[in-house]
Amino acid sequence: MDCKSLRSHIVDSRFYRSGYSTEEARLIFCDLRRMQRWLDVEAALATSQASLGIIPLSAADELIQTADLHQLDLNEVSRSIQSTGHSLIPLLSAWQQVTSSQSAAYIHYGATTQDIQDTAQSLEIKEVLSIVERDLCLVIQELIGLARRTRNLVIVGRTHGQHALPTTLGLKVAVWLDEMLRNGERLRESKKRVLVSQLFGGVGTMAAFSGLGLELLTDFSKRLKLSAPRTAWHASRDRVTELLSYMAILAGGLGNIANEICQLARNEICELEEPFHLGKIGSTTMPHKRNPELCEQVVVLSRLIKNQAISGFDGLINEHERDYRSVRLEWASIPESSLMLCCALNLVKTILKNLIIHEEHIAANLDKSACHVSTEALMSGLGSKTGKPKAHELIYDVAMKSYASNRPLRELLEENPDITDKLNPNELAELLNPENHIGIAPKLAEITISSAEEWLASSHPEDLSESTCPLADKHGECTLQMET
């Protein structure tokens, strides 16, 4: 086996990558595509400079034609990166080799390396956020449908891991939905700040742009469909920190949904279950197992993404006008967070679309605990005749005796004269029926559903169905070849 052709990172593993990334997201961070993106940014710079008379139009025209990775000696680029220790100069040198000397003189004219690489990184982020927005909208659609179908399905509500009061499954889902709506709003706001260009020169003064720096920045940004920042952000990396923090928040919300499904899939609860198909194996030693592997993986991804957000905060502290340490952190943290977030969204879409709802177990759990989860209503009904403190004392005493004796709470309530003297059998039965005590849970679910539908109606995520790598052939294979 030729180990040189194998992948060492889990996101690229031939065997396990589907649990950590998606093919669509991996294409964005292909290193060849990254270099082509740098060339694309350089070409946009040359075009903008020519339009302002900073460089000759003929030079820009040729640079656009030769800014093509297919024309360059990539093996030499790779070797030169190792010998020079510079990330961009070897690529520019290879570009010069296929360009006339008259035009090559205007390659990378007035820009600094980080101008090009930060701008290209913003383009990468833009692609990632387009996938995130599209899939977040799909998750929201699934949650809307699930909340609507289950808005009246009464279940046991739990606090501190214990049966608490009745609620509805629809309201539980609506809480998830509301959080995803907030994440959608965060995404819209964040894009305004994060998706910006960078073109300020060595120390941010635009000194090399013939006094036309601001006009050049505006035109350059417009061509790349990015916003123009007010000042250089070479050493001011709060935008990236915001991005990584947003990804961690969204991933945490997805992990929370997955974890709740995990907990409700326990054998002793068995109310919800992630999708299952014959052939899915849970254990090498226990053939009966139906493990919540998809949900657990979402939780794993959310924790990994959170860890990457920490490096964003480390990158906030830099020296003077430029410091590449934060950029090198970002080259690891942004791709990993992006790949794993896209994977988490994809997994949650699958889980919600095919979620198994065990209504018979929901009903059985509710029936078994009907009296306990109705004690708030019982205390209110009894308290109207005895006062709340006395009602709480009576019901607490009976409930603790039920736990200690393992006798049904209802039996002990019906045997207690202090209670039966105040409440007739019909009144007691009504108070102990959990379906009578779900408050306005269905209405709250409907309010959230309506808000979500309004938000979706105002969303216009980019159609990525035709998105492909510009370096790939019709079969999706990269057309560039390098030595391994």
Active-site annotation, residues: 160, 283
Q: Would you say how long the chain is, in residues? A: 484
Rounded Cα distance, 151 and 145, in Å:
10
Tokens 């309201």, residue? 171
Distance from chain centroid for Cα 138: 12
Lookup result for tokens 């990269």: 478
Contacts of 434 (CB under 8 A, 6+ apart): 154, 156, 166, 366, 370, 373, 374
Taking CA atoms, 353 is separated from 130, 143, 145, in Å, by: 21, 9, 9
Contact yes or no for 336/286 (Cβ under 8 A): no
C-alpha 358: how far from chain center: 28
Q: Residue 473: is it exposed, middle or buried by C-beta count within 10 angstroms (0-12/13-18/19+)?
A: exposed
Q: Which tokens go with 249?
A: 């928040």
The tokens 């093509």 sit on which residue?
A: 68
| Nearest Cα to Cα of residue 447 among 177, 138, 150 | 177
Spatial distance between the Cα atoms of 403 and 453, rounded to a whole number of angstroms: 45
Neighbouring C-beta atoms of residue 310, cutoff 10 Å: 15
Q: How far apart are CA 222 and CA 218, in angstroms?
A: 6
Q: How many helices (H) and strands (E) does the chain have?
A: 19, 4
Torsion of CA 270, 276, 277, 279, to 10 degrees: -80
Q: CB-based burial of residue 89 (10 Å sphere; 0-12 exposed, 13-18 middle, 19+ buried)?
A: middle
Neighbours of 358 (CB within 10 A): 16
**One-character DSSP codes across 82-151:** HHH--SSHHHHHHHHHTS-HHHHTTTT-S--HHHHHHHHHHHHHHHHHHHHHHHHHHHHHHHHHHHHHTT
Burial class (CB in 10 A: 0-12, 13-18, 19+), 484: exposed
